[in-house]
Amino acid sequence: MKTIPKISETEWEVMRVLWASSPLSAEDIIARLAAQDAAWHPKTAKTLLGRLVKKKALGFEKDGRAYRYRPLVREVDCVKAVSDSFLDRVFGGALTPMLAHYVEHKKMSAAEIKELKRLLDQKE
Amino acid sequence: MKTIPKISETEWEVMRVLWASSPLSAEDIIARLAAQDAAWHPKTAKTLLGRLVKKKALGFEKDGRAYRYRPLVREVDCVKAVSDSFLDRVFGGALTPMLAHYVEHKKMSAAEIKELKRLLDQKE
DNA sequence: CGTTATGGATTACGCTCGTAATCGTTCAGC
DNA sequence: GCTGAACGATTACGAGCGTAATCCATAACG
């Protein structure tokens, strides 16, 4: 089991772009980030790319002077790590109260409810 | 709607103790923290209490030389704030994939599954 | 009554984060 | 070939965090 580097709040946005599609150039990544949130400053994105490379969440191949970045860690693994820590911290590790919180406080469509029930059925 | 102060990882453990029971003296809080995790250093806990007071997550009444601390923010509100941000960051705000992740990756007892289904039924 | 233990306040310190600007190099266009 | 634009690398910097130790006042014990 590989060690999952700790990915910060803003770094997650970058990772999510690359999990959705990779490899990508910095330029492409910046474009996609700006597409979902215009407040992204290119320099900031570059800094984050550098940090993610340093902490080995991203790798790259050179493509001329530029890099093409790709994830070195799988999304599922990162999601699992951070989900577990969230569960521990906020709900003391108790799964059901956590799920109950969401079910009770967030809107869900009938289809979503059905889908979730199906998953629960499978689990039995 | 009051503003929820940002509560850090370790601060959450302190808050959880006080949400479970308050008001409590620093001594009591430290004892309860140590009970669940022996690695807690009293000085560290004091620092966190101070910080939580400063950021107005906790208040206190004087009781002689000592303080009796109590939460100034409700657990539900904090849970909601941090849950929403977690959902956004890790799952891009998509509720069902998030719930699905937990249902698929964590162990649940038959009773828990049943309880959750009941909540989903209510929601319909 | 004085000394010590205890309580909160203050100070410490290295790390990470968010947010960029600057630097040095190299590719591309003129 | 020369110049400027663009790339990654390096540097910046204040805030917050995790982890304590130290300081100062007072309460409790002897």
User: In which element (H, E) is residue B61 found?
Assistant: strand B58-63
Look up residue A81 and give its two tokens.
């790590």
For residue A101, list chain B residues with Cβ-Cβ distance below 8 A.
79-80, 83
Quick one: fold of B75-123? Penicillinase repressor fold (1.10.4040)
- Residue labelled with tokens 């990162």: A78
* pLDDT above 90 (res B84): yes
- Residue labelled with tokens 């979730």: A116
For residue B16, list chain A residues with Cβ-Cβ distance below 8 A.
92
- d(Cα A53, Cα A60) in Å, to the nearest integer? 8
* pLDDT above 70 (res B81): yes
Please tell me the total number of residues recorded for chain A in this structure: 124
- Within 7 Å: CB of A25 and strand D? yes
pLDDT tens per residue, range A46-71? 999 999 999 999 999 998 889 999 99
Residue boundaries of the structural domains of chain A:
9-71, 75-123
What pLDDT is recorded for position B50?
A: 97
Q: Is A64 at the interface with chain B, CB within 8 A?
A: no
Q: Is B8 at the interface with chain A, CB within 8 A?
A: no
- Within 7 Å: CB of A44 and strand D? no
CATH 3.40.50.10800 correct for A9-71: no
Q: In Å, what is the CA distance from A14 to each residue of A4, B49, B62, B85, B91?
A: 16, 34, 47, 16, 13
pLDDT tens per residue, range B19-36? 999 899 999 999 999 999
